[in-house]
Amino acid sequence: MDRLQIEILLSAVSSGDTSVEDALNKLRHLPFEDIGFAKVDHHRALRTGMPETIFAMGKSPEQVAAIFARMAAAGSNVLATRADSAAYEKVAEVEPRAIYHSTARAITLEQSAPVRGKGVVAVVCAGTSDLPVAEEAAITARMMGNDVELIADVGVAGIHRLLAQRDALLAARVLIVCAGMEGALPTAVAGMVRTPVIAVPTSVGYGASFGGVAALLGMLNSCAPNVSVVNIDNGFGAASVASLINHLD
């Protein structure tokens, strides 16, 4: 309810078309309905094709399937992240069109085309161990209407392979760079481009990697000025930020 609607309502009261009681009822929830992001968001998601998302970790397969079905029935595109195959099996029973992406541990359903971003979102990672996070980012970005290029198997200890991808890196409008261990890849990539780099530390490693903390600290301390960071293993969040940037006019 925006100011125009309030003006119309007040005019109706002024003219006697609406009683004071009715107007009062409409206005009483105003403090928050006017703010009203939630409902707008709901409508907007349907209109723009942005997916509704489910963070499946810590939910039972039945719970995931129930939420998935409800969202699908509302006509939304749906994305479930951190979902294992058991969750997918339950989802598939209620929504056979759902697709499982096993490396990314994601379940998707696309019922309408999302609004397209302007450029390419490149997702970069060092090796096969980082692929689950990188794939989660890639699938999320695709579900949000972005062209995605996945560049795997480049690393700081083999600079030549990274340099070989220079054209692809420069062609992207936004970059997502996933790395575990020492987490240096985002800095190296960021030094080669002039676009925003979203760094995603992964929990890949052992010993003093402390479940991704070493990579996280490395990325936060990046000497490149075009790097910002999201939580460990948060491929979804990185893709959300990257998609927002890529949809800027």
Residues in 122-141 that interact with its own copies by CB under 8 A:
126, 128-129
Reference 233, options 78, 52, 57; nearest CA is: 57
Which residue, 13 or 96, has its beta carbon nearer to its own copies?
13
Which residue, 96 or 207, has its beta carbon nearer to its own copies?
207
Query: From the CB of 96, what's the least distance to its own copies, in Å?
Result: 26
Q: How many CB atoms lie within 10 A of CB 13?
A: 16
Which residue, 36 or 97, has its beta carbon nearer to its own copies?
36
Six-digit token string for 213? 């903390």
Which residue, 95 or 211, has its beta carbon nearer to its own copies?
211
Q: SS3 of 3, please?
A: helix
Which residue, 111 or 210, has its beta carbon nearer to its own copies?
210
The verdict on 16 binding its own copies (CB under 8 A) reads: yes
Among 75, 105, 187, 235, binds its own copies (CB under 8 A): 187
State how far the Cα of 188 lies from the Cα of 12, in Å rounded to an integer: 63
Query: From the CB of 134, what's the least distance to its own copies, in Å?
Result: 15
Q: Site size for its own copies, by CB under 8 A?
A: 98
The verdict on 170 binding its own copies (CB under 8 A) reads: no
Reference 141, options 212, 249, 37, 245; nearest CA is: 245
Among 155, 168, 172, 178, binds its own copies (CB under 8 A): 155
3-state helix/strand/coil string of 52-121? EEEECCCCCHHHHHHHHHHHHHCCCCEEEECCCHHHHHHHHHHCCCCEEECCCCEEEECCCCCCCCCCEE
Contact 77, 52 (CB under 8 A): yes
State how far the Cα of 133 lies from the Cα of 82, in Å rounded to an integer: 10
The verdict on 171 binding its own copies (CB under 8 A) reads: no
State the binding string over 199-228 for its own copies (x if CB under 8 A, else -).
Answer: --x-xxxxxxxxxxxxxxxxxxxxxxxxxx
C-alpha torsion sign, points 147, 153, 157, 162: negative
Which residue, 59 or 97, has its beta carbon nearer to its own copies?
59
Residues of span 28-87 touching its own copies by CB under 8 A:
28-38, 57-59
Stretch that binds its own copies, among 27-35, 71-79, 83-91, 104-112 (CB under 8 A): 27-35
